Amino acid sequence: MLEKDIEKTFYSEQQIQERVAVLGKEISREYQDKFPLVVGILKGAVPFLSDLVRAMPIHMEMDFMDVSSYGNATVSSGEVRILKDLSTVVEGRHIILVEDIIDSGRTLKYLVDLLKHRKAASVKIVTMLDKPEGRVVDMAADYVGFEVPNEFVVGYGLDYAEDYRNLPYIGVLKPEIYENA
Ligand code: PRP
Ligand code: MN
Ligand code: MG
């Protein structure tokens, strides 16, 4: 079971759901007459996007993109590769980019630049978590669920080796989970 691998909970399921409801209301107010294109960044954003859009009772369209960083962590090229592109034309659209976390900021920097290049009418960012200490490039979200310290968090979309994404809350793994890997 997943539970037994978690050392501590950062944000409980209830805290997350309450925050998502507030964010959904705020964002809906801004976009109610704009038919936004809500873009989820695979795979981490899926649980958050799924809850967020159901807290937004407005007309919208949804699409997804999958991107991956080039190279390893020691290379700070900031290059990003598109694994799956949008199937929607971006020109003239109001885009809401949905992420689970902003860390270095590279993924979103690349995506915002790309969508502006494709002539989006506007691009805004909503992220469940913001890890300001991780920032390498200048990037700020328009809507943030919670801030997290510089720790490796899992759950609610966030993975460790592709595992734990389906945990309904956000927590930190026990050290032995990494040690045994
Ligand atoms: C993670 C996370 C963000 C990105 C944030 O995705 O979901 O998309 O990294 O990091 P950054 O701000 O340093 O760019 P990852 O590339 O691990 O893919 P995943 O969502 O499929 O786990
Ligand atoms: Mn991601
Ligand atoms: Mg990941």
Q: How many CB atoms lie within 10 A of CB 60?
A: 18
pLDDT at position 78 is 67
pLDDT in tens, 134-161: 999 999 999 999 999 999 999 999 999 9
Q: CA-CA distance, 101 to 165, in Å (whole number)?
A: 13
CATH code for the domain defined by 14-151:
3.40.50.2020
pLDDT in tens, 22-66: 999 999 999 999 999 999 999 999 999 999 999 999 999 999 999
| Among the bound ligands, the one closest to the CA of 101 | 1
Atom of ligand 1 nearest to the CA of 159: 22
| pTM for the full predicted model | 0.95
Q: Give the whole-number percent of the chain exceeding pLDDT 70.
A: 95
**pLDDT tier, 178 (very low <50, low <70, confident <90, very high otherwise):** confident
Residue 10's H or E segment, with its range, is: strand 6-11
**pLDDT tier, 72 (very low <50, low <70, confident <90, very high otherwise):** low
**What's the residue count for the chain?**
181
Residues with CB under 6 A from ligand 1: 41-44, 68-69, 99-107, 159
| Among the bound ligands, the one closest to the CA of 69 | 1
pLDDT at position 54 is 98
In this structure, which residues have their CB less than 5 angstroms from ion ligand 3? 159
